[in-house]
Amino acid sequence: MYSSENIESKISKTALIQALQHFMAAESVLFDEEDLKPYECDGLSAYRAIPLIVVLPETIEQVQRVLTLCHENMIPVVARGAGTGLSGGALPHEQGVLLSLAKFKNILHIDPNRRIARVQPGVRNLAISQAVDQFGLYYAPDPSSQIACTIGGNVAENSGGVHCLKYGLTVHNIQQLKIITIDGELLTIGGSGLDSAGYDLLALMTGSEGMLGVIVEVTVKLLPKPERAQVLLAAFDDVVNAGEAVGNIIAAGIIPAGLEMMDRLAIQAAEDFVHAGYPLDAEAILLCELDGTNEEVSEHVSKVRGVLKQSGATEVRTAKDEAERLTFWAGRKAAFPAVGRLSPDYYCMDGTIPRKQLPQVLKAMADLSKEYELRVANVFHAGDGNLHPLILYDANIPCELERTEEFGGKILELCIKVGGTITGEHGVGMEKINQMCVQFNSLELQQFHAVKAAFDPQGLLNPGKAVPTLHRCAEFGAMHIHRGELPFPELERF
């Protein structure tokens, strides 16, 4: 279980509130239990904590002053966007300030020539694409929470979505950041060109989970909207064939805009929920979206159709119009809530594997599912190897959450074992902090801590998240012997 790092503050809660109210409106500093409650968790609601204080600054200067104040008084700070994250990255610190960027919701500038938009961190992902639609442009990364999630959070988590194989993650689609360091300094990272001087701090900040600085402005890159998008739906009576079909499409020299797989349980759940017309007798379906110029899409649709058939698809459908294309997608996009209808609770995992390992991983997961007596539905960003197994459980049954967590941990370790990673796009947060000890050795973790110290030597930003301390790993290792070896032998046991 997670325990936030203990930090010795130099100021009382009352004095801190007074100091904050000195430069912020009274309604922007929350400290009553009932006002704090809405901030107790993010999208991973199994973990909750009430922060000491919530602040809602409106200007960059206020953020600077909040951070300076916290820095001087050794107060932990957790930054938060929309709170849609799935790894507990925005879980509050009980002795700390929760810094909400919710009031930073302006689109500052759109430049169609440069194909960029300069936005505040609290702007919603989808709102960017909506605002630039008039210029025929869009912002490519589209996490499933894109209606609600904010761009600041996207940068903090390096969010992906269903179009990553072709269009990349957040790190590939931003150009400049303004951040405030823990000592209150405003830094501009990146520039107006395609690269900037010095180390690639833009990449380092992206996906840093609020550990290095607070993002107060983001310049995103925009893309011209494709002339046309078309989607094919293929059914398979064997998941192995579906997995091979993905490799065969890529071998044909085609990079689809989106390539998604769902297994039998996920198909059935989605079909019951949105009636997308999915074939219920299939063991797996693939959704393959092709985009580009009109001519290119026509050419690729006929190629992919051939590849799918040759790969053993029992059925291949092409959306006959835009409405049907959206219906095909509706099932996939509703897969999580659809699975939620099958069970009181579900737990969404996020490992990535080399695609060729899919059959082996699915088999091992099925075995684990039997062992733990918990059902698992699979939706899979098949093009880039990102798995989202959904473990179905009931939190009201004693110990079922704990069993689910253990099962989830086993899935993540399986991903590492086949050469993958514990998180493709949801982040480590506090959820996967123990598995970080499996994926990385103590030298690598120490190097991460050195990166952290380069920005935040006192460890005040989002303490206890993203990178485990070596002691935490030693404790975890004590109950978890990896490959028969005692991890972190150099550390004393306690």
Q: Does 280 bind another protein (CB under 8 A)?
A: no
Token pair listed for 380: 């899979």
Residue 216 makes contact with another protein by CB under 8 A: no
- Min. distance of Cβ 338 from another protein in angstroms? 23
| Stretch of 39-47, 98-106, 118-126, 205-213 contacting another protein, by CB under 8 A | 205-213
Least distance (Å) between residue 433 CB and another protein: 11
Q: Quick one: which of 4, 28, 62, 158 contacts another protein (CB under 8 A)?
A: 158
Sign of CA dihedral 466, 470, 476, 477: positive
* Cβ-based nearer residue to another protein, 26 or 450: 450
| Min separation Cβ 51 and another protein, Å | 24
189 sits near another protein (criterion: CB under 8 A): yes
Say if CB 136 and CB 225 are below 8 A apart.
yes
349 neighbors 389 (Cβ within 8 angstroms): yes
Which region, judged by CB under 8 A, interacts with another protein, from 305-313, 362-370, 391-399, 420-428?
420-428
121 and 157 in contact (C-beta within 8 Å)? no
Nearest to another protein of 17, 239 (CB atom): 239
280 versus 453: smaller Cβ distance to another protein: 453
Query: Quick check: 260 binds another protein (CB under 8 A)?
Result: no
Residue 114 C-beta: closest distance to another protein, Å = 5
Span from 222-230, 231-239, 258-266, 485-493 in contact with another protein (CB under 8 A): 222-230
The owner of tokens 């970080």 is 436
Task: Decide the pairing of beta strands 53-55 and 97-100.
Answer: parallel
Query: Shortest Cβ distance from residue 302 to another protein (Å)?
Result: 11
Judged by CB under 8 A, which of 165, 239, 257, 473 binds another protein?
165
Candidates 65-73, 182-190, 392-400, 471-479; binding stretch for another protein (CB under 8 A): 182-190
User: Which residue lies nearer to another protein by CB, 169 or 338?
Assistant: 169
Select from 93-101, 367-375, 396-404, 425-433 the region that touches another protein (CB under 8 A): 425-433
Sequence-separated (6 or more) residues with CB below 8 Å from residue 447: none
**Residue 184 half-sphere exposure toward CB, CA atoms < 13 A:** 13
> Per CB under 8 A, does 247 bind another protein?
yes
What's the distance, CA 60 to chain centroid? 26
Confirm if 230 and 195 have CB atoms less than 8 A apart: no
| Total residues binding another protein (CB under 8 A) | 96
Complex with another protein: residue 51 or 143, whichever CB lies closer: 143
C-beta closer to another protein: residue 55 or 169: 169
Question: 55 or 382: whose CB is closer to another protein?
Answer: 382
Taking CB under 8 A as the criterion, which residues in 104-143 touch another protein?
112-115, 135-137
Using rule CB under 8 A, residue 337 touches another protein: no
Indicate whether 461 belongs to the interface with another protein (CB under 8 A): no
Encoded one letter per residue, x for contact with another protein by CB under 8 A and - for no contact, window 287-326 reads -----xxxxx-xxx--------------------------
Residues between 342 and 361 that touch another protein (CB under 8 A)? 352-356
- Does 399 participate in binding another protein (rule CB under 8 A)? no
- Contact between 389 and another protein by CB under 8 A: the answer reads no
Q: In the complex, what is the shortest distance from the CB of residue 246 to another protein, in angstroms, rounded to a whole number?
A: 8
What is the edge-to-edge ordering of all strands in the sheet holding 29-30? 29-30, 53-55, 97-100, 77-80
225 binds another protein (CB under 8 A): yes
Round to whole Å and give the CA distance between 381 and 164.
9
Q: Is 391 in the site for another protein (CB under 8 A)?
A: no
2 binding another protein? (CB under 8 A): no
* Binding to another protein, residues 436-455 (CB under 8 A): 436, 439-441, 443-444, 447-448, 450-455
Spatial contact of 428 and 209, defined as CB atoms under 8 Å apart: yes
- Least Cβ distance, residue 99 to another protein (angstroms): 20
Residue 258 and residue 229: Cα distance in Å, rounded? 10
Q: Which residues make beta-bridge pairs with 377?
A: 390
Looking at residues 45 to 104 of the shown chain, list those that interact with another protein (rule: CB under 8 A): none
Q: What's the half-sphere exposure (Cβ side, CA atoms, 13 Å) at 313?
A: 25
Residue 208 binds another protein, judged by CB under 8 A: yes
Choose the binding region for another protein from 14-22, 24-32, 249-257, 361-369 (rule: CB under 8 A). Answer: 249-257
Residue 266 lies near another protein (rule: CB under 8 A): no
- For residue 372, which amino acid is it? Y
